[in-house]
Amino acid sequence: MDIRPLAELRAAADLSLAFNPYGLGGRMRPEEAAEFQQRQNADCDLTAGAAAGTRDSFERLRTVFAYGVLCYDVYTIVSDQALLIYEQALRDRFMEWCGGTITFRVPQAPDVSYSVTSYDDVKRCANRMMRQRAKLAVGTHDIEFNGILHGLRLWARTAGLLRGRRSRAAEEALAKLRNHVAHPSSHHVDTPVGAARTVRDLAELINQLWGRATPDGRLYPAPLHREIAVLSWNSAGRTRMEPADALTAADSMEDQEDDEYQHVVVRAIPFIPGSRWNDEHWAEFDTRYETTQFPTEYLWGPGTRTEARTWLEHERPEGDSVDFTDRVFLVQEHERVLPPMQPAVAAGLPDNERVGIWHTVRADLPEDAFVHVRGSRDRSTGHARRPGDCPACSAEVLGSGSHDEALRAAAAALGTDPSHAATFRPAPFLHLLARPAVSRLPHASEVGACAIED
């Protein structure tokens, strides 16, 4: 090993200077690079409830990340260490969850409980009970628990500490990367971009384990804000979305120009240029099928612009926040796979429209539920057909069968009495647009000051 002088150790790494806010290309000054890289994780603060050990490890990681400007290999070290803290966070949260006692259910024998003071105690008990084919009691559920990362991930999901169907795939990827780091078989190098994203993902996971979602998060986003909006369409199939305020501020000339349009009032995610949460399927809103990406709630309509304004001024509806993860959908398969429905809508169908096979699916987005059911028709695709997580996509199968069976599965998943599926309140049916809901969904093509049109 060559002994390098202090001045050389203090010099910025050439490769680190090549990463700038606009990507690769051009070089930053060392002072600028140091500030830029530190800002990549400056807002990744942990919730106050996170365990002290997990917090200390994470803060040490953020401190070391800044030194990547001086030594490019630091980014690889940080990324690898973040993956190991992934398991540490799960262990720390498990110890808080169990409160010093873990219980295993043994086949044809009384439950067995152990007092544990450290996670090493948990691993010893888990190894002992696995030989007896015992399962860890997590509330009303029993799970296989081996005490290592796989068992911890399964526990966190079963305990409801981690949420979202799409984030499950990210957790699996993080677990594979962690195993590669813990048992390396080849050399690898990470970039500042990759290391920063791994640290951010770790912060999201830690915060979610301790009950705090991340605003604008990639894995565990906080509930999205919905505003009151007006959807308008005419016989030519032209559609428009505008804030409700734009309608109440309109003048009579605009009313005359919009005579050919019909309007409905909804509660929806606002369209913000550049936002990852823009719903590119807003123009396909339909009260029977879930054809928008994020939950859009029907409030009034259809009617004229004047009628919509009158209703808004009288009712004065307000926006809200909605969590779009882990939603429950019913998908009807009758000659073809139809778009997903909310359980409330499926419960209100007349008897002659309850035909075919019905699938109850938990997914973050309607398209995920639709793709799963369509893919499950071909066994070679690997989509799950029995209840459980699908290994081929981001969906969870809750049940399949008749309309009543699917509705009972939805009721059980949503926490209502499965024997009283009629407790779902049927929603009104309203097909807004001339184009069929099963057609390819369009993209918003124009963004204006008051409205967007398709």
Residue 106 sits in the same domain as residue 123? yes
Residue 278 has pLDDT above 50, yes or no: yes
Instruction: Summarize pLDDT for 411-434 with one digit per residue, the tens.
Output: 999 987 544 544 444 445 555 544
In a domain, 216, yes or no: no
| Mean predicted confidence (pLDDT) in 280-303 | 92
The pLDDT value recorded for residue 391 is: 93
Residue 146 sits in the same domain as residue 165? no
In a domain, 266, yes or no: yes
In a domain, 412, yes or no: yes
Residue 111 sits in the same domain as residue 250? no
Residue 84 sits in the same domain as residue 123? no
Q: Between 198 and 422, where is the model more confident?
A: 198
Residue 95 has pLDDT above 60, yes or no: yes
Residue 117 sits in the same domain as residue 193? no
| Mean predicted confidence (pLDDT) in 342-358 | 93
How far apart CA 364 and CA 275 sit, in angstroms, is: 18
Q: Within its chain, how far is the Cα of 220 from the centroid?
A: 6
The pLDDT value recorded for residue 421 is: 47
Q: Between 348 and 320, where is the model more confident?
A: 320
How far apart CA 267 and CA 10 sit, in angstroms, is: 55
Kindly report the backbone phi and psi dihedral angles of residue 44, in degrees, each rounded to the nearest multiple of 5, phi listed first: -90, 60
Instruction: Summarize pLDDT for 377-399 with one digit per residue, the tens.
Output: 998 999 998 999 999 999 999 99
Query: pLDDT band at residue 254, thresholds of 50, 70 and 90?
Result: low
The pTM of the full predicted model, rounded to 2 decimals, is 0.86
The pLDDT value recorded for residue 424 is: 47
In a domain, 195, yes or no: yes
Residue 243 sits in the same domain as residue 172? no
Residue 242 sits in the same domain as residue 106? no
Residue 16 sits in the same domain as residue 142? no
Residue 188 sits in the same domain as residue 330? no
Rg (CA), the chain: 26
Residue 241 sits in the same domain as residue 262? yes
Residue 114 sits in the same domain as residue 244? no
Contacts of 163 (CB under 8 A, 6+ apart): 208, 220, 325, 326
**Lowest mean pLDDT across 136-140, 277-281, 349-353:** 277-281
3-state secondary structure 363-380: ECCHHHHHHHHHHHCCHH
The pLDDT value recorded for residue 185 is: 81
In a domain, 218, yes or no: no
Which residues span the domain enclosing 173?
6-94+160-209
Q: Is 256 exposed, middle or buried (0-12, 13-18, 19+ CB in 10 A)?
A: exposed
Best CA proximity match to 113, nearest among 101, 97, 99: 101
Contact 266, 226 (CB under 8 A): no
How far apart CA 111 and CA 108 sit, in angstroms, is: 9
Residue 294 sits in the same domain as residue 373? yes
In a domain, 81, yes or no: yes
Domain count, the chain: 3
